[in-house]
Each structure stands twice: as C-alpha cells, then as structure tokens.
C-alpha cells in the first residue's frame, strides 16, 4: 500500500462538478492499493498517518500529529501510485489491485481512520478533480513494504 501525504490548509475533491469531500487543516492522502496488500498493510499506513509528527508546535518545530492539532483527512483512491514507467513510455499498472480487492481495503481504511478523526473521501474509481492548498509544502511518501 502506498500513500502520498500532503499537509494542507484545505483540500477538496469533486466528481463531474459535484463536491464529494472537503476538509480544512489536515492531510490530503492519495492512496494506492497493491494486489498483495492485506489488513496488515492497511494498519501500518493508518498508524503512520495518525502518528506522523509534521505539524508545527509552539516553537515552530514539526512535532505534532494530526490528532494533536484536531485535523482531518481527505482520502482519495489513486491506482496510478502503482504505475511502473521504467520500461517504455506508457506506465504499467499491473501491480495495482483490481476493484474487487481494493474497494474492501479502501473502505476498511476509511472506517479505521474515522474511528480517530474526521475523514472525507472522493469516489473510488471515478475521474476526480482534487484541489488543495499545500501547507509548507510538506509531502511525505509512505509504503507498507517500506520501499521509501
């Protein structure tokens, strides 16, 4: 499982002009699910998201978590995080999980995160328009296989 985590002042996602989700301070999380991902991968990413200390404390140091600051998450599915462009010019998405595998894990992630803080989402598999105001900017890459 891969996640691109962006610290935002605000973020939103729309499908065909209809607003699906909107948050203020928190994370925009682009999440990619791989064919071999399990609940263990899901738990690893969720724990990392909730525990990351990237919000500034009173001294201006990145020392506070999203829970500490009362932030929210905008979670957007993105199979292209598993795009492999090492050969040729057209990425291969063979490692990305098929919807029948990815949707249950995506929904479980929403549930697990919502137990801790507010979560808004896009629409799985839809063509989405994502808007954000980066804060910092701060962007963190997470991978349950610890590739980075």
Average pLDDT over residues 115-133: 97
Q: What would the mean pLDDT of 114-133 be, rounded to a whole number? A: 97
Which residue, 135, 137, 119, 140, is CA-closest to 8? 135
Rounded to an integer, the average pLDDT of 81-85 is 95
Q: For the chain, which residues make up each domain, given as ranges? A: 2-143
- pTM of the predicted protein model: 0.95
pLDDT for the residue numbered 148: 66
- Within 13 Å of residue 39, how many CA atoms lie on the same side as its CB? 3
Residue 63 has a pLDDT of 97
Where does the pLDDT of residue 146 fall: very low under 50, low under 70, confident under 90, or very high at 90 and above? Answer: confident
- Alpha-carbon gap, residue 66 to 54, rounded angstroms: 8
pLDDT for residue 147 is more than 80: no
Average pLDDT, the chain: 96
Residue 8, pLDDT above cutoff 90: yes
Classify 2-143 by CATH class.
alpha beta
Angle formed at CA 49 by CA 8 and CA 5, multiple of 5 degrees: 40
Q: Compute the distance between CA of residue 72 and CA of residue 92 in angstroms, rounded to an integer.
A: 32
pLDDT digits (tens, 9 = 90+) for 23-65: 999 999 999 999 999 999 999 999 999 999 999 999 999 999 9
Instruction: List, by residue number, the catalytic residues.
Output: 78-80
């Amino acid at each position: 499982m891969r996640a691109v985590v962006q610290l935002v002042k605000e973020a939103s996602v729309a499908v065909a002009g209809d607003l699906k989700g909107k948050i203020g301070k928190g994370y925009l999380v682009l999440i990619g699910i791989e064919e071999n991902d399990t609940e263990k991968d899901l738990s690893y990413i969720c724990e990392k998201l909730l525990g990351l200390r990237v919000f500034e404390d009173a001294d201006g140091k990145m020392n506070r978590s999203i829970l500490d600051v009362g932030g929210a998450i905008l979670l957007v599915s993105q199979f292209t995080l598993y795009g492999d462009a090492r050969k040729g010019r057209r990425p291969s998405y063979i490692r990305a999980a098929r919807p029948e595998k990815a949707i249950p894990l995506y929904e479980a992630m929403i549930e697990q995160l919502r137990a801790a803080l507010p979560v808004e989402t896009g629409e799985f598999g839809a063509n989405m328009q994502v808007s954000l105001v980066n804060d910092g900017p701060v962007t963190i890459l997470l991978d349950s296989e610890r590739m980075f």
